[in-house]
Structure 1
Amino acid sequence: MDQKEFAGLIDSTKHIVLSAIKKNLYEEFYDTIDDVVQETYIRAYKSLAANKFRGESSHSTWLYTIARNESLRMNQKRMRQANLAMKLKEKATQDSILNPREEYSDSGMDIELQDLISNLPWKYKSVLALVSEGYKEQQIAEKLGIPEGTVKSRSFRGKQMLKKLFFQET
């Protein structure tokens, strides 16, 4: 299938794909409709290019199924993110996220916090990673070769970024 044929397929099935998404995607996740549509057509294109479409149904039925499955995947993904946010909010109220030097009893939470820290810009990530390992501000300053005041401000700003990220979802 060439690009023109695929563009025609998109034009003729976009209403069906959107219908499947609206029926299966949770309303609170409607902000991801574009992502689900895109993933639906990417999967379809890859399958068509690899001659995996068996022709047992019409293209519209097949795409409806793909869109439904992608909607369900997105629901699961966003629910996992929401659950993680709730866990982090609970930890924040217990001062855990505000004081990363405390040990986490839940090793899974420690891994999740490290994943979140790794998404921050390097200058904050480098400081918070060392703070979470239990280093003191003076030790971090020496290790990174930056002033202790810079360590304090980057630590504070990095923590604020983490809090902002998860408190805006409610």
Structure 2
Amino acid sequence: MNSISLETSICSYRTALRNYALRFTHNLDDAEDLLQETMLKALRYANLYKEGTNLKAWLYTILRNTFINDYRSKSKWTSVIEVNEDLSSQQLRTSASNNLAENKFMSGDIQTALGSLPEEYRVPFLRYFEGYKYHEIAEELRIPIGTVKTRIFMARQQLKSKLRMYSDTYRKRSA
């Protein structure tokens, strides 16, 4: 199957995929986002599709895995916050302005730390952070899966070392 006919076939499943995505997300906007991400991945990895196999099942698998990966990455970043006291608008304004300044510095430090990583560590780490699995990264970069794991581990170690000041700060705040 040539790439144009494969792309046409992939697009023909758009409605069925949207309905499938809606069952996961229960929200039309989120379903559209999931559908778009699925279509992009399908087109990006079209070379991995084996002609003669079930295209619809392949697309459904990509959609399901994308949802699961997004859910995992979001669950790492979300937390429940309980407020047991009433805060005045002045306290909130002061807190928000402090947080903006801190976040700006932290974001800059993170970008600097990421930029200082060797490219061989940075690329796999960023892919992993985006929600890709080890084997997907290995296929994309055409390197062994063990090498991917090692490079992500080394990137984490270097980032922990360079961003240690934030770790100590947050430990003190949560104590």
TM-score, with structure 1 as normaliser: 0.43
Structure number with bigger Rg: 1
TM-score, with structure 2 as normaliser: 0.42
